[in-house]
């Protein structure tokens, strides 16, 4: 990665690379280090989890990676692009065309059907209607909700709503999916089903998945777990049998 216009293409390069990242908020005359000197890489086609207690900086870090907030210091590279060298329109285009998002609260529009919700980002991209409808059909079938396509969120369970959210992310054809507490509003059994779908995104679709979570099930399933404490990277754990490229693997297992 050499400049803000570089293009991510190699499976041997990190999908996300954070370098000496700081985010400081000035509140009532006091500096709050929400993110404090974080350096880490997220590798392709893995499930990576960011964990930590409430207030540890997880959501702030996710917002920085998504380009929804900008760091006070340091650099954020996503899919080969330096977010700090992109303008807001370019960051918006990156989110719309190359990233998928899954939220704790599902993020569905209550008056739209499941089918219409899945199609929202595709309409924003002005995708050809035939391709859009094909993608919607495929995504709903993949999450097992073809028979619920014309139901609205209030007619579906929490697990079904989250499956619609996964279908919406999948239909965009993203290389990277960012998930914020995707099982946070679900019971343990339903959360397990959603987690199985997320794992399939990685294994069957080759998607890189970054999950912010406090759910022990997600932590146990993730290939790599980065733990934050008071805005700082406190620990990195790699699941047994998971391999990552060269130096990074040596560093985190040292």
| pLDDT tens sequence across 178-237 | 999 888 888 888 889 889 989 998 999 889 999 999 889 999 999 999 999 999 999 999
Is the pLDDT confidence value at 143 over 50? Answer: yes
The larger pLDDT score, comparing residue 51 to residue 106, is at 51
pLDDT for the residue 10:
54
Q: Which residues contact 186 (CB under 8 A, 6 or more apart)?
A: 158, 159, 162, 194
pTM: 0.86
Q: Across residues 230-247, what is the average pLDDT?
A: 83
pLDDT band, very low/low/confident/very high, at 250 (cuts 50, 70, 90): very low
Is the pLDDT confidence value at 246 over 60? Answer: no
Q: Give CATH for domain 16-253.
A: 3.40.50.300
Q: Which of 8-12, 25-29, 48-52, 111-115 has the lowest mean pLDDT?
A: 8-12
pLDDT for the residue 249:
46
Average pLDDT, the chain: 88
HSE-CB at 218 with a 13 A cutoff on CA atoms is 28
| pLDDT tens sequence across 52-108 | 988 899 999 999 999 999 999 999 999 999 999 999 999 999 998 899 998 888 889
pLDDT band, very low/low/confident/very high, at 125 (cuts 50, 70, 90): confident
The larger pLDDT score, comparing residue 185 to residue 114, is at 114
Reduce the DSSP state of residue 107 to 3 states and report it: coil
pLDDT for the residue 247:
47
Q: Could you tell me the residue ranges of all domains in the chain?
A: 16-253
pLDDT band, very low/low/confident/very high, at 13 (cuts 50, 70, 90): confident
> How is residue 181 annotated by DSSP?
S
Burial of 22 (0-12, 13-18, 19+ CB in 10 A): middle
Reduce the DSSP state of residue 193 to 3 states and report it: helix
Phi-psi region of 203 (alpha: psi -120 to 50; beta: other; left: phi over 0): alpha
HSE-CB at 59 with a 13 A cutoff on CA atoms is 9
């Amino acid at each position: 990665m050499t400049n803000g216009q570089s293009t991510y293409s190699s499976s041997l390069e990190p999908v996300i690379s954070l370098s000496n990242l700081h985010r400081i908020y000035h509140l009532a005359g006091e500096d709050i280090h929400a993110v404090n000197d974080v350096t880490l890489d997220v590798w392709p086609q893995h499930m990576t989890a960011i964990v930590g207690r409430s207030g540890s900086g997880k959501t702030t870090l996710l917002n920085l990676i998504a380009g929804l907030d900008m760091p006070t210091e340091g650099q954020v590279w996503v899919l080969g692009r330096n977010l700090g060298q992109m303008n807001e329109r370019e960051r918006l285009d990156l989110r719309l065309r190359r990233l998928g998002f899954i939220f704790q609260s599902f993020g569905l529009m209550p008056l739209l059907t499941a089918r219409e919700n899945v199609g929202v980002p595709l309409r924003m991209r002005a995708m050809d209607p035939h391709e859009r409808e094909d993608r919607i059909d495929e995504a709903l079938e993949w999450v097992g909700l073809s028979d619920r396509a014309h139901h609205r969120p209030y007619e579906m369970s929490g697990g079904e709503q989250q499956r619609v959210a996964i279908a919406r992310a999948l239909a965009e054809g993203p290389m990277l999916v960012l998930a914020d507490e995707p099982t946070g509003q679900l019971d343990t059994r339903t959360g397990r089903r959603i987690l199985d779908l997320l794992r399939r995104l990685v294994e069957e679709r080759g998607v890189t998945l970054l999950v912010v979570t406090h759910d022990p099930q997600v932590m146990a399933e993730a290939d790599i777990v980065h733990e934050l404490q008071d805005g700082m990277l406190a620990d990195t754990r790699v699941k047994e049998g998971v391999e990552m490229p060269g130096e990074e693997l040596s560093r985190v297992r040292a």
